[in-house]
Amino acid sequence: MIAIQDLTVSFGGDPVLSGVDLSIDHGTFVGLVGPNGAGKTTLLRAIKGTITPDNGTISIDGDPVTSLSAREVGRRIASVPQSTTLSFDFPVRNVVEMGRTPHISRFGSHDADDVTAVEEAMVATGVERFADRPITEVSGGERGRVLLARAIAQGTPALLLDEPTASLDVNHAVRTLELVRGFVDDGRTAVAAIHDLEMAARYCETIVLVAGGEVRAVGPPADVFDTASVRACFDAEAFVGANPATGSTAITAYPTTGTNPRRVHVVGTGRPAARAVSRLSAAGHDLSVGPVPEGDVVAGVAADADLPAVRVPPFHRPEGPHVADAVALAAAAEVVIVVGDPAESLRQVVETTTPTVRVSTGFDPADVLAAVASADEDPDAASPSVEES
């Protein structure tokens, strides 16, 4: 549907996009993600033909965008801008009707098909109830939905959306992406700049990661989003796993700490231990876990991060080989973090010669990082005996 080759765009001599190559197929939902100023909006504007690139070509359905008139582009691509500011005082219905402009001759008027397209677009976006209200008298989120309705009414095979959920509450944000997802499932193409990485992973089958004016990665969310890519492109530490409710990729971001990576073994179960593993993994520590029951949330987090983990059958006490394997992992670590009170059966795991620090189950994420750092800086001071439970 859209083919981009060697695209370069500069403003005032400053490069914004450089050497972008991208191919977007019919019937796909593509999410553009990246930090502020990465060039996502510029890329959308270039696809629509509203800016002239310094170099490269963009084709829409096989035709160079430069060879198409504004009306021809408007019959192939509709766009929803990031800004919802509108200076004119037209009723909402009239704003949505503007989406039909590319389909009407210079001296023509709306016909029955146009009226139907407008009505259906307003109903789909939930703006029909204030169709006669001046656009300047609705909220920013409502204006965003009106502009989406205008794009839908345009009836194009492709939609470009620049931060379509930025001004919406969570209900309307989800409804908007569900609506766009539905259009894509019916055969349309959508390209959206989305700042919420989890939303992008949930609804888009293809992610385009843009940073520094370049495309850093293209592919399914599970392939594009990982700890290294989030750190490199967003300057943030992140744990990347699976959302248990949707099955889609989940990204939990943290501030960058500049942690010195260590080899760490974590002992504990349940959500508190899972939080510890997630934070330590995001910081770049080399982790192992166990023993943990199969099916425990910690086991799931370890699997998401592809960590070595000693697993025991559910409702079974760790013993024999399980304990021996965990002892070996703990002995090979530089620090052992114990979350909460360990069971008596785990005494061998937490009493290796490796410096051991226990954190409470109600720890702050920064606490577990500090625990590792303190053991690294002063092992003798950071090796308290672990209480029996």
Task: Give the helix, strand, coil percentages of the chain, each rounded to 5.
Answer: 40, 25, 35
pLDDT at position 316 is 84
Q: How confident is the model at residue 225 (pLDDT cuts 50, 70, 90)?
A: very high
3-state class (DSSP) for residue 89: coil
Question: Token digits for 46?
Answer: 């270039």
Give residue 43's pLDDT: 95
**Domain-by-domain residue ranges, the chain?**
2-251, 259-377
Mean per-residue pLDDT over the chain, rounded: 89
User: Which of the four pLDDT bands, split at 50, 70 and 90, describes residue 108?
Assistant: low
What is the percent of the chain with per-residue pLDDT over 90, rounded to a whole number?
65
Distance CA(349)–CA(336), nearest Å, equals 9
Q: Are 323 and 348 in contact (CB under 8 A)?
A: yes
358-368 pLDDT per residue, tens: 898 888 888 88
Paired with 58 in beta bridges are: 4
CA dihedral defined by 264, 267, 268, 271, rounded to 10 degrees? 10
Please report the sign of the dihedral spanned by the C-alpha atoms of residue 374, residue 378, residue 380, residue 381: negative
Report the candidate in 35, 6, 23 with the shortest Cα–Cα distance to residue 212: 35
| 50 CB neighbour count, 10 Å cutoff | 12
CATH 3.40.50.170 assigned to domain 259-377? The reply is yes
Instruction: For residues 205 and 149, give the distance between their C-alpha atoms in angstroms, rounded to a whole number.
Output: 23
Work out the pLDDT band at 107, boundaries 50, 70, 90: low
Residue 208 pLDDT: 97
What confidence tier does 330 reach under pLDDT thresholds 50, 70, 90?
Answer: very high
**CA dist., res. 176 & res. 143, Å (int):** 13
Mean pLDDT of 96-112: 81
Q: What angle do CA 312, 243, 272 make, to 5 degrees?
A: 50
- Tokens read off for 373: 């750092």
pLDDT band per the 50, 70, 90 thresholds, residue 377: low
Would the pLDDT of 381 be above 50? Answer: no
Confidence (pLDDT) at 180: 94
Return the pLDDT at 83.
78
- Crossing angle of helices 270-282 and 297-304, in 10° steps, is 20
Classify domain 2-251 at the CATH topology level. Rossmann fold (3.40.50)
Give the chain's end-to-end CA distance (angstroms, integer). Answer: 63
- pLDDT (tens digit, 9 = 90+) per residue, 339-351? 998 888 888 888 8
Binned at pLDDT 50, 70 and 90, residue 384 comes out as very low
Helices (H), 186-320: 197-203, 221-224, 227-234, 270-282, 297-304
How high is the pLDDT of residue 374? 80
Binned at pLDDT 50, 70 and 90, residue 257 comes out as confident
pLDDT digits (tens, 9 = 90+) for 158-188: 999 999 988 788 998 999 999 999 999 999 9
Across residues 221-231, what is the average pLDDT? 91
- What is the per-residue pLDDT across 53-95, written as a single tens digit (0 to 9) for each? 999 999 999 999 999 999 999 999 999 988 777 778 899 999 9
Q: What percent of the chain stands above pLDDT 70?
A: 95
pLDDT greater than 50 at residue 380 = no
